[in-house]
Amino acid sequence: MADLFQAALRPPDEYTAKDIEVLEGLEPVRRRPGMYIGGTDETALHHLATEALDNAMDEAVAGHATQIDLELDADMTVTVRDNGRGIPVDPHPRFPDKSALEVILTTLHSGGKFSDTAYRTSGGLHGVGISVVNALSAVLEVEVARDRTLYTQRFHQGVPEGGLAAAGRVNNRRGTVIRFRPDDTIFDQGARFSPARLYRMARSKAYLFRGVRIRWSCAAELLSGSPEIPETDTLQYPGGLSDFLDVTLGDRPRIGADLFSGEIASAGGERVEWAVTWLDGPDDGFVRSYCNTIPTPNGGTHELGLRQALTRSVRAYAELTGSGKKLAALTADDVLGGACAMLSVFMRDPQFQGQIKDRLTSREATRQVEQAVRDNLDHWLSAKPAVAGMLIDSIAERMEERLRRRRQKEVSRKSATRRVRLPGKLTDCTRTEAKGTEIFLVEGDSAGGSAKQARDRATQAILPLRGKILNVASASSDKLRGNQELNDLVQALGCGRGGQYSEPELRYERVIIMTDADVDGAHIASLLMTFFFREIPQLVENGHLYLALPPLYRLSQGGLTLYARDDAHREELLTERFSGRGKVETSRFKGLGEMPSAQLRETTMDPERRTLLRIEVPPRVNEAGCSMERQALETTVETLMGRKADSRFAFIQEKARFVETLDI
Ligand code: 0RA
């Protein structure tokens, strides 16, 4: 095999038409690697290994592989081997002249998941796909043992060097080997993997999925700088997340000897696993969450479920045992502050958000996690009254400490003279530093009134705007500068605009556009987004701009109340969540101003329960110099919002075929 591998370093003997097509397919990846792996630095380089390992992990999580090997050679070749089903080698249904394997390795986003029955839960889908690893490798070699036959194929910078070859018979082996050496010319520091980083990554995967054994091996000469990393190791942890917490916490003092841990699997192969313990003392703990073994450092819906379950269960237990008063002002942060928690979910077709997809947004995860953890914690607490008592005391202490700090801050804030002049219409929040605060831009005074009632005074500010604001894409610059409404807005934000923008002076962490769930609301939101994009683009680029998603309908039947965003969502809820028996009371909100403040809080403003959309824009420049994606966006904004009505008209005509229902 070593010889074959050497041979792969030679330039390909011949290019066929097929190869050229493939080259075109992966060319964007080589041209702009940053778009696919988040940069060209050391972290980005390690994404290649993560992706290869995630693919093998998928096969294990789906129940088809039990063993994975991860090897790092002295020349920075990485090998990932699994004993799964083997990547399919038969002709691909959509490209009959190519094997499925070749399509998976040379097509963006095919990722092997072209049939959604292949995986029950899948991490690789979230990743960029093994084709990206291929595109960015000087050499990639794949071996598949399937149906007693060994197949091999090699690629050079993503281009096949010949077709898939049957390389012999194998009797007692199946699975996939991916062996690659990243392309030195792509990465800033060349292809230099850190053995420690790879080892830790493999170890965390083994903790996260206790059904797998990962064998590690690394060329000895790479290990001189990291004595703590073994040359070879077998990573297998039957205790899963609990083992991880035990090892990580060592002998730091905890409340109670036993961890609170458990696992709930549903029939469809979806699973929730957790391990939680609380530190004894004032130190802060941590929450680490994962979906399909992929870290979600930015949390998301699954973490929300955990927070809700822990908070509700602790509160209920305190009330049950007569110490409810002690926890009267309890928040999720009080409960989680001292907790060390590991949460791992496995789900089919997970949805992620964010530039590096590190936040889970699948809605159903919240309910699944909350239910699983809640029931178990209720039992756990009642079964251990002594531990539960200590826990409640410790959480109460945290809560008291938080209240004390808040009172102190309020006193010091009131005595400080305010330096900034703020517009009269702004209802500011009481917290003075920007972190954790948000400003809601709302449509009209009546919605502003409701929002004021619904807000959290400490962290949420409200600025009502007078209906339709100026369209900055078609206004003259004089008109723009003289516009009181927009000047007030900039004043409230504190950060200045255009070339004067100053990030540290931005007075809020999030700027949230909250308009009615109707066409006028959508228009106002578009005008505001245009304003920010044109006048304060840095604010958008830095991820501060959001859209709130208020519901359009409230549906209730018996004790069940649900909110629907739009007509389609209402239909979905009516058929899936309500029973056919009995009437479902439906009310349609005419606007945010009409909505009772409790409902506005619950559906749209409460950070624990709402959904926000973050407005993301491509960066102005990227590795290739000027960003084409950004250019395209500028053009779209000009077409849709600019002065030329005829280009807008052309756009509408061209896109009309995508309209499914027209609500007029
Ligand atoms: C697509 C379909 C099937 C398996 C795989 C991909 C697969 C991909 C990788 C990547 C690394 N190891 C892998 N193992 C399997 C399902 C094939 C079938 O139904 O037999």
On the question of pLDDT at 55 being above 60, the answer is yes
Model confidence at 282, pLDDT cuts 50, 70, 90, reads confident
Q: Please indicate whether residue 101, judged by its CB atom, sits closer than 6 Å to ligand 1.
A: no
pLDDT tens track for 318-376: 999 999 999 999 999 999 999 999 999 999 888 888 656 788 999 999 999 999 999 99
pLDDT tens track for 386-434: 999 999 999 999 999 999 998 887 776 655 544 567 888 999 999 988 9
Q: Please indicate whether residue 305, judged by its CB atom, sits closer than 6 Å to ligand 1.
A: no
Model confidence at 174, pLDDT cuts 50, 70, 90, reads very high
**In the block, which residue shows the tokens 């007692």?**
172
User: Which ligand 1 atom lies nearest to the CA of residue 52?
Assistant: 11
User: Which ligand 1 atom lies nearest to the CA of residue 100?
Assistant: 1
Q: Whose CA is nearest to atom 5 of ligand 1?
A: 87
Q: Which amino acid is at 202?
A: A
422 CA to centre of own chain: 35
Q: State both tokens at 146.
A: 């399937």
Catalytic residue, from 520, 567, 572, 608: name it: 520
13 is catalytic: no
Model confidence at 498, pLDDT cuts 50, 70, 90, reads confident
DSSP, res 502 = -
User: Which ligand 1 atom lies nearest to the CA of residue 178?
Assistant: 11
pLDDT tens track for 109-130: 644 343 333 333 344 334 468 9
User: Which ligand 1 atom lies nearest to the CA of residue 130?
Assistant: 10
Distance CA 191, CA 264 (A): 41
Mean pLDDT of the chain: 87
Q: State both tokens at 431.
A: 């917290």
82 is catalytic: no
Residue 189 and residue 42 in contact, taking contact as beta carbons nearer than 8 Å: yes
pLDDT tens track for 65-89: 999 999 999 999 999 999 999 999 9
Query: What local confidence, expressed as pLDDT, does residue 202 receive?
Result: 96
443 is catalytic: yes
The pTM of the full predicted model, rounded to 2 decimals, is: 0.59
Q: Please indicate whether residue 219, judged by its CB atom, sits closer than 6 Å to ligand 1.
A: no
Per-residue pLDDT, averaged over 159-187, amounts to 94
Q: State both tokens at 424.
A: 């009269």
516 is catalytic: yes
Model confidence at 509, pLDDT cuts 50, 70, 90, reads very high
Q: Please indicate whether residue 122, judged by its CB atom, sits closer than 6 Å to ligand 1.
A: no
Inter-CA distances, 111 with 54, 126, 269, 519, Å: 11, 9, 21, 38
On the question of pLDDT at 9 being above 50, the answer is no
On the question of pLDDT at 214 being above 50, the answer is yes
Per-residue pLDDT, averaged over 611-622, amounts to 86
